[in-house]
A and B are shown apart, each in its own frame.
Chain A
Amino acid sequence: MELRKKTDLIWEIPKQGEMKVAATIYASSRLLESIKNDLTLQQAWNVACLPGIQRMSYVMPDGHQGYGFPIGGVAAFDMDEGIISPGGVGYDINCGVRLLRTDFAEQDIAARRKDLLAEIFKEVPAGVGKGGITRLSRNVLKDILTKGAEWAVENGYGTKDDLLMTEEYGRMKDADPAHISDRALERGIPQLGTLGAGNHFLEIQKVSHIYDQDLARVFGIAAVGQVMVMIHCGSRGLGHQVASDYIELMENKLGIKGLPDRELIHAPIRSPLGQQYYKSMCGAVNYAFANRQMIAHWVRDVFAKVMGSAKGMRQVYDVCHNVAKIEKHTIDGKTREVCIHRKGATRSFGPGRQEIPEAYRAKGQPVIIPGSMGTASYLLVGTAEAEELSFSSTAHGAGRIMSRHEALRRFRGEQIRDELQKKGIELQSTSWKGVAEEAPAAYKDVDEVVRVSHEVGIGRLVARVVPVGVMKG
């Protein structure tokens, strides 16, 4: 496969063969080496062959091999000729990140850090086979799928201000639970308000560096040492079931002939099946928004109990990183609606976009990029240039470089805990094996990922945060 170097950080697979557009990869040479180690580039090529794709098939700096589309893949499709693909969204629909600020400084919580983490661990259900707080009825669940975080706020979890500071204001309005299977609903009922396992985590963090004082202030960060809370989780089994169901429905209806990869299965956006998937996916997105809304509420409760106050624990923002959306973008000089897939990628709208909450609109959208468990995470801001460069998208995290199997051979969970403790990071987990699998060394260097984002201009650095307490599912 021909790969052309455009600049030190921009690589292109020129349009060739069946490709309808070229593919662009944003990566340093070091990141590109790991991208070349798996099927990422082939998958970016495959996406470039899909009907109705516009301008370019993109891979973000944290790209790695996914199912069908690569993780870190961004693609936009024409509304009339284009497609929607469950594999272009991913199994964990609206896996995403929420960031809360606090009025506390590092030294304020130093003595009670262990208690805070222990209490959060008690309040927020995590791990496998752990149910949520309530047994929901199917009707209530359908309400949640329709209303998202709005449902949570109406039921006492958090405030309306949280909704303002959430992508889509916490609710995708096109959701329709009527197209979501019983099996998906069954999986959703016991898991609402749970963190889950795998790479999902909840962290108490402190600001370690501020790159842009003015923007940091607008987003609620005043100084180095300020305590923050980050929640990383998604739509749990419900979202996975929606993805599996629609991959199967599309296969059965449209066949798999000619697909290089079965999870590239897709349906025309405006077809009945395409619309049913889209509306179901919106429901799963809403479930995940409600999930993070509830967890954030419990975290505030814990701060109120342990620290005496949760005042000032405002939400900086909440972003999705596995989603398909109808958005307006400028292509060949014309602004029109497209169906944009971001799979393991974060929206990064620049100043002025109407979708950004008013308080941030003049500056750009906050972009939250979590590191792996126990490493730094970043707050960035979307840029105007990202529109042209990546349909307003940037990276979503670190991206694995080592298999879980290999990580288990090399690390022990208790050893990781001890090493983190030496760095002043407390850890609580439901599984030591899970901790070993998520060892920081099993991931790409997130610092390098955000540096590329910043230098290419698809998302600019605002602040860096590091954990002081980690809860892993």
Chain B
Amino acid sequence: MIEKFRFLDHTADAKFQAYGRTLEEAFVNAALATVSLMWEPAKVETKLDHPVDVQGRDLEQLLVRFLGEIIYLIETRSFLVAVVDDLTIEKADAGFRLRAVFRGDDRPAKYAIFGEVKAITYNEMRIDQGCPVTVQVVVDI
């Protein structure tokens, strides 16, 4: 099994690379890396589902919007993502469309929350569809 993600040094914020055999798997792992800056996803119960459906003019924008959903859900629904399932990426009219299901819990008081991701950025973003597929993201924290 390949490594899911790895954090790299970045002076002001958090930078990670997420890996996958496919683009979809790398996107799932990028979500887990983002989540791991705020809570331990493995400890969060999968009590509720939140479907995700986002579009982007290119893969970079798609990734920013997808990861942005995690921030949106914790801030506005108090929803902690634990697992990402059924993630698909397809070509759409003007770029790409991503669909997935976030499973997690909306009872934040039950868990240790130790960080805040404030924004997903384009800074030093890379999407390399080699083997393995590698996506690199810097998030504002």
Contacts and interface: CB of A to CB of B under 8 A. Distances in A.
Nearest to A404: B14
Contacts of A37: 11
Contacts of A437: 115
A66 interface: yes
Interface in A63-78: 64-68, 71
Contact of B141 (A187, A262, A404): A404
A85 interface: no
Contact of B72 (A183, A191, A261): A183
Interface in B19-61: 38, 57, 60-61
B61 to A, nearest CB: 7
Contact of B116 (A66, A197, A248, A261): A197
Interface string A432-449: 111001000000000000
Contacts of A387: none
Contacts of B123: 67-68, 261, 263
Contacts of A262: 60, 122, 125
A252 interface: yes
B71 A237 contact: yes
A208 to B, nearest CB: 27
A6 interface: no
A35 B121 CA distance: 21
Interface string A235-270: 001001001100110011000000001110000000
B120 interface: yes
Given A129-B74, A187-B72, A240 B11 contact: no
B118 interface: yes
A65 B76 contact: no
Contact of B118 (A65, A186, A237): A237
Contacts of B108: 128-129
A237 B120 CA distance: 12
B64 interface: yes
A240 B118 contact: yes
A187 B116 CA distance: 14
Interface residues of B, number: 36
A464 interface: no
Contacts of A190: 75-76
A402 B13 CA distance: 10
A315 to B, nearest CB: 26
Nearest to A38: B11
A251 B7 CA distance: 28
Contacts of B119: 91, 240, 243-244
A128 B57 CA distance: 31
B132 interface: no
Contacts of B64: 244, 248
A247 B122 contact: yes
A300 interface: no
Nearest to B118: A240
B115 A128 contact: yes
A431 B114 contact: yes
Nearest to B58: A256
Nearest to B68: A244
Contacts of A370: none
Given A186-B76, A187-B72, A191-B75, A196 B14 contact: no
A347 interface: no
Interface string A89-103: 001100000000000
A127 B113 contact: yes
A183 B65 CA distance: 12
A433 B116 CA distance: 11
A351 interface: no
A422 interface: no
Contacts of A65: 11-12
A71 B114 contact: no
B15 to A, nearest CB: 8
Contacts of A404: 13-14, 141
Contacts of A232: none
Contact of B11 (A129, A244, A401): A401
B129 interface: no
Given A128-B38, A187-B72, A190-B76, A402 B11 contact: yes
A264 to B, nearest CB: 10
Contact of A91 (B10, B78, B121): B121
A196 B72 CA distance: 15
A421 interface: no
A355 interface: no
A225 interface: no
A240 B12 contact: no
B86 interface: no
Nearest to A433: B114
B140 interface: yes
A30 interface: no
Contacts of A127: 113, 116
Interface of B: 7-14, 38, 57, 60-61, 64-65, 68, 71-72, 74-76, 78, 108, 113-116, 118-123, 125, 138, 140-141
In the A-B complex, the 10 residue pairs with the smallest Cβ-Cβ separation, listed nearest first, are: A262-B122, A197-B116, A433-B114, A129-B108, A128-B116, A240-B119, A91-B119, A403-B9, A67-B123, A128-B113
10 contacts: A64-B11, A128-B108, A197-B115, A240-B118, A240-B119, A248-B64, A248-B65, A404-B14, A405-B7, A405-B14
